A and B are shown apart, each in its own frame.
Chain A
Amino acid sequence: EADIYQTPRYLVIGTGKKITLECSQTMGHDKMYWYQQDPGMELHLIHYSYGVNSTEKGDLSSESTVSRIRTEHFPLTLESARPSHTSQYLCASSEYGLAGGTDTQYFGPGTRLTVL
């Protein structure tokens, strides 16, 4: 099983609050991803990173921001939470790049966010 951690696992918060979802991996993976998933639905990529100090927005428009100051850490921040942000947020990491190999994505357990 992969060593990728997310905290908190569950979060209920009021509208307008600033929140940071934590994601850490101990595998030394260069690539990390944030996905948003509503119950029973597909995963939508919101941010990804292919190394320290490199981040890109995914295909799903998001009001969140990310940072990648250390290889193992990829936090996601919502400056002002809204009810529309209620969802599950999944963090993932992978090792191999475009050169080949199996770039398996290892997923964390997720954070279930509810914004009231």
Chain B
Amino acid sequence: GQQVMQIPQYQHVQEGEDFTTYCNSSTTLSNIQWYKQRPGGHPVFLIQLVKSGEVKKQKRLTFQFGEAKKNSSLHITATQTTDVGTYFCAGRTSGTYKYIFGTGTRLKVLA
């Protein structure tokens, strides 16, 4: 079945350092979404990417969708303590409504 892996599983950074998480799907995706889940909370939608090679920015966050639409990345510039949480990608294949969530990357930011 379809699998979506994320690396790294955990990342500890000093406040101000950059952070990147990578998402890799075993199958070609129709689109990919990114979510953030704070400790004890529920996932909150960040962004959706649809086009091959697409790059989107939200303030300090940069999202990229690979040319083959099988991988994606999230990069945070100059992390802040408010960035703490687990970041999940979620991919959907063509012809289905369901999303397969990645394994997640847990980010800790040390002040």
Residues of A near any B CB (own CB < 8 A): 31, 33, 35, 40-45, 48, 50, 56, 58-59, 90, 92, 97-98, 102-110
Chain A residues with CB below 8 A from B86, complex form: 40
5 A-B residue pairs with CB within 8 Å: A59-B2, A90-B43, A98-B95, A98-B97, A107-B43
- Whether the pair A106, B45 counts as a contact (CB closer than 8 A) is yes
Chain A residues with CB below 8 A from B90, complex form: 43, 105
- Whether the pair A105, B99 counts as a contact (CB closer than 8 A) is yes
Known: A45-B99, A98-B97, A105-B99. A90 touches B42 (CB 8 A): yes
- Whether the pair A97, B97 counts as a contact (CB closer than 8 A) is yes
User: By the criterion of a CB under 8 Å from any partner CB, how many residues of chain B are at the interface?
Assistant: 22
Q: How far is the CA of A106 from the CA of B43 in the complex (A)?
A: 8
Residues of B near any A CB (own CB < 8 A): 1-2, 33, 35, 42-45, 48, 86, 88, 90, 95, 97-104, 106
Q: How far is the CA of A102 from the CA of B98 in the complex (A)?
A: 14
Q: How far is the CA of A50 from the CA of B42 in the complex (A)?
A: 22
Chain A residues with CB below 8 A from B99, complex form: 33, 45, 105
- Whether the pair A102, B43 counts as a contact (CB closer than 8 A) is no
- Whether the pair A42, B103 counts as a contact (CB closer than 8 A) is yes
- Whether the pair B45, A105 counts as a contact (CB closer than 8 A) is yes
Q: How far is the CA of A40 from the CA of B107 in the complex (A)?
A: 11
Other-chain contact of A107, B2, B42, B97 (Cβ < 8 Å): B42
Q: How far is the CA of A106 from the CA of B44 in the complex (A)?
A: 7
Other-chain contact of A108, B2, B42, B104 (Cβ < 8 Å): B42
Q: List 19 extra interface pairs beyond A42-B101, A107-B44, CB under 8 A.
A: A31-B97, A33-B98, A35-B101, A40-B104, A40-B106, A42-B88, A43-B43, A48-B97, A48-B98, A50-B97, A56-B98, A59-B1, A59-B2, A90-B42, A90-B43, A103-B48, A105-B99, A107-B43, A108-B42
